[in-house]
Amino acid sequence: MICDICGNSTTQIRYVTRSYGKGSDLLIIENIPVIHCPKCKESYLTADTLHEIERIKLHRQNFAKERPVPVAAFC
């Protein structure tokens, strides 16, 4: 895969977890593929990934499973 920013051909795919919303509208999406370039240090999502995130958010009742989530403060 070639970096869209610098053109380097050694990009890597990393998988991240992101949260969207808050309170009772909180949705956590795991294993989101992010393109990372070790040369220019940029990370970005593809258009297809962004469309899939929006689809998951729109149809969250079909995708989401309820799980208890412990929360810790960084202080």
If you average pLDDT over every residue of the chain, what do you get? 92
Where along the chain do its domains lie? 12-63
Q: What are the Cα distances from residue 45, in Å, to 22, 40, 75?
A: 22, 15, 30
- Distance between CA atoms of residues 44 and 10, nearest Å: 14
pLDDT per residue over 32-66, tens digit each?
A: 999 999 999 999 999 999 999 999 999 999 989 98
12-63 is a CATH 3.10.20 domain: yes
Q: pLDDT-based confidence at 71, cuts 50/70/90?
A: confident
Predicted local confidence at residue 23, as pLDDT: 86
Predicted local confidence at residue 70, as pLDDT: 81
Residue 38, token pair as written in the block: 């070790």
Q: pLDDT-based confidence at 72, cuts 50/70/90?
A: confident
Closest CA relative to residue 36, chosen from 62, 7, 3: 3
